[in-house]
Amino acid sequence: MSDPSAVGEPQLTAAHTLEYAYKRSLGPVLSRFFTGLRDKRIQGVKTGAGQVLVPPAEYDPATGEATTDEFVDVGPGGVVTSWAWVANPRAKHPLDHPFAFALVQLDGADTSLLHVVDTGDESSMSTGMRVKAKWADETIGQIQDIASFVPEEAS
Amino acid sequence: MAEHAAVVGIGQTKYDAKRLDVSQPGLVREAAIRALEDAGLEWKDIDAVVIGKAPDMFEGVMMPELFLAEALGGVGKPMLRVHTAGSVGGSTAIVAASLVQAGIHERVLTVSYEKQSESNAMWALSIKMPFAVAMVAGAGGFFAPLIRGYMQRSGAPEDTGIRVALKDRQNALKNQYAHLQMPDISFDMIANSPMLWDPIRYLETCPSSDGACAMVIADAKHTKASGRPAAWIHATNMKTEPTLFAGRDQVMPQAGLDCSAELYKKAGIQNPRAEIDCAEIYVPFSWFEPMWMENLHFAPINEGWKMTYEGATAIDGDMPVNMSGGVLSSNAIGASGMIRFAEAAMQVRGQAGEHQIEGAKKALGHAYGGGSQYFSMWIVGDQPL
């Protein structure tokens, strides 16, 4: 490799920001899930084998078959099945104080939902702990309608 | 090629400007289900899934094939994605076919799609880069000078493109899946439509479509056992060349000339115009019909326009082209090449309905992409080669 500075030529760079606006069409299954959140309902969908998927999916990952038309209410309580503590949240994190990203298996569900558990400190987090959904002040049909999950006994 | 392979199932969605009623998985699923039903198969019968689409930037989902696995019954199976710009639908079908021809798989599902309502493909293709001239021209702006070059070389009458657009828009009325259905289309309507990128008028361009196309490709054993009409794959071919280099003929790319010549040789075709019954070719702007007629060796250089002008490429002509209405009538970009391949297969299977060419036995599917630099093609027939 030759040293560019040896020939006195600066090696050029320039900033390049690329930005586009996109749109998402959710389809019937996830549209129903998010509309439910607006009404403070958490819904799962049943697969042909009777499993309840939360969040619901259009197609059963196990078989590739379409999931059924049967939606069931789950939660608002559930169990933490796995978690990772965020000790120093950054500006774009969902909470402005330490929290856990966690998988929460809601009561009545066979799968776990990725969300946020707000316990205040890491020592009060544990796998298998019970939590319940805490709703946002305003619900509009998005995953943030569940502000966080909090320890069940605390509420 | 070691094994015979054939198209035994075809599924298309209705092409539309905005399919807001379905997710991306829902869109590809719709075409895939129809292909399976057409083949009389179930998900469990499929050995592998090959998916294609245009740049990820079009929908803003990185590697969308990964989140489409369950929608396409791909869990637990080999699933791979092909990408060759606008020609991708064609090359995706060829990769799927090659897996069968190589004896690796017996039945492969291949799907391609675009959901342009979730994006703005025009400007995703025209990025203003540092240190480069910002053309912000879109695809039409790129291809307009090539068309102008063709007009100057060939001396083709100025209304050739209008005639192509009129033919394809009339053909689209015979195709239930076509996006643009304009029953009152006329020569004057096209001639008087706004000049978008001189010399390309608005009604000489393709629309932006949502849609998906799928095929099931099977080996000889399963094809014969299915008892269904088959489109036997006689030959496939792909060729590539750089976007820009000194001396490159962008109007009449060498890669396309070589790709089709080799394709015919593989398929045992000496005289393409006489031996091929009909063709579905990638014409996103009307003038590309005469240009590709030459590139595909259907007409001598600078004489492709005569085929359009004399009605040879009309649905009742001696070399019908784009009986489905073509890309001019439906452009779900990633799917567009596969639609050409599938429509060619539909013709030899005798399932093209109102736009069927009676007795079609041999058909060409063609796609191109990038700056006229990627080519993919296949010849299908009603009997094995």
User: Which residue of chain A comes nearest to B122, CA vs CA?
Assistant: A20
For residue B111, being part of any structural domain is answered with: yes
User: Which residue of chain B comes nearest to A26, CA vs CA?
Assistant: B23
Peptide bond between residue B199 and the one before it cis (omega within 30 degrees of 0): yes
Interface check A61 vs B, CB under 8 A: yes
For residue A14, being part of any structural domain is answered with: no
Q: Interface pTM (ipTM) of the complex?
A: 0.86
Q: Is B126 helix (H, G, I), strand (E, B) or coil?
A: coil
CB B171 within 8 A of CB B326: yes
How many domains does the structure of chain A reveal?
Answer: 1
Closest chain A C-alpha to B19 CA, distance in angstroms: 8
How many domains does the structure of chain B reveal?
Answer: 1
What string of pLDDT tens digits covers the 385 residues of chain B? 469 999 999 999 999 999 999 999 999 999 999 999 999 999 999 999 999 999 888 888 999 998 999 999 999 999 999 999 899 999 999 999 999 999 999 999 999 999 999 987 777 777 788 888 877 778 888 899 999 999 999 999 999 999 999 999 999 999 999 999 999 999 999 999 999 999 999 999 999 999 999 999 999 999 999 999 999 999 999 999 998 888 899 999 999 999 999 999 999 999 999 999 999 999 999 999 999 999 999 999 999 999 999 999 999 999 999 999 999 999 999 999 999 999 999 999 999 999 999 999 999 999 999 999 999 999 999 999 9
pLDDT score for B75: 92
**Angstrom distances, CA of residue B379 to CA of B72, B196, B331:** 26, 34, 22
pLDDT score for B169: 98
For residue A7, being part of any structural domain is answered with: no
- Out of A18, A22, A58, the one facing B25 most closely (by C-beta) is A58
pLDDT digits (tens, 9 = 90+) for B156-184: 999 999 999 999 999 999 999 999 999 99
* Chain A residues within 8 A of B25 when measuring between CB atoms: 27, 58-59
Whether residues A27 and B21 touch (CB distance < 8 A) is answered with yes
For residue A13, being part of any structural domain is answered with: no
Domain hosting A143: range is 23-154
For residue B17, being part of any structural domain is answered with: yes
Q: Which of B16, B19, B23 to mutate to test the interface with A (most CBs of A within 10 A)?
A: B23
pLDDT score for A9: 85
Domain hosting B46: range is 5-121+208-226
pLDDT score for A62: 87
For residue A17, being part of any structural domain is answered with: no
Tokens of B286: 């009307």
For residue B36, being part of any structural domain is answered with: yes
Residues of chain A with pLDDT under 70: 1-7, 154-155
Whether residues A65 and B115 touch (CB distance < 8 A) is answered with no
* Closest alpha carbon to B283 in B315, B346, B327, B340: B327
pLDDT score for B340: 98
Q: Chain B, 16-35: which have a CB under 8 Å from a chain A CB? A: 19-26, 29
- Convert chain A into a string of H (helix), E (strand) and C (coil): CCCHHHHCCCCCCCCCCCCCCCCCCCHHHHHHHHHHHHCCCEEEEECCCCCEECCCCCECCCCCCECCCCEEEECCEEEEEEEEEECCCCCCCCCCCCEEEEEEEECCCCCCEEEEECCCCHHHCCCCCEEEEEECCCCCCCHHHEEEEEEHHHC
For residue A5, being part of any structural domain is answered with: no
pLDDT score for A99: 98
- Out of A21, A25, A57, the one facing B19 most closely (by C-beta) is A25
Residue B79's CATH number: 3.40.47.10
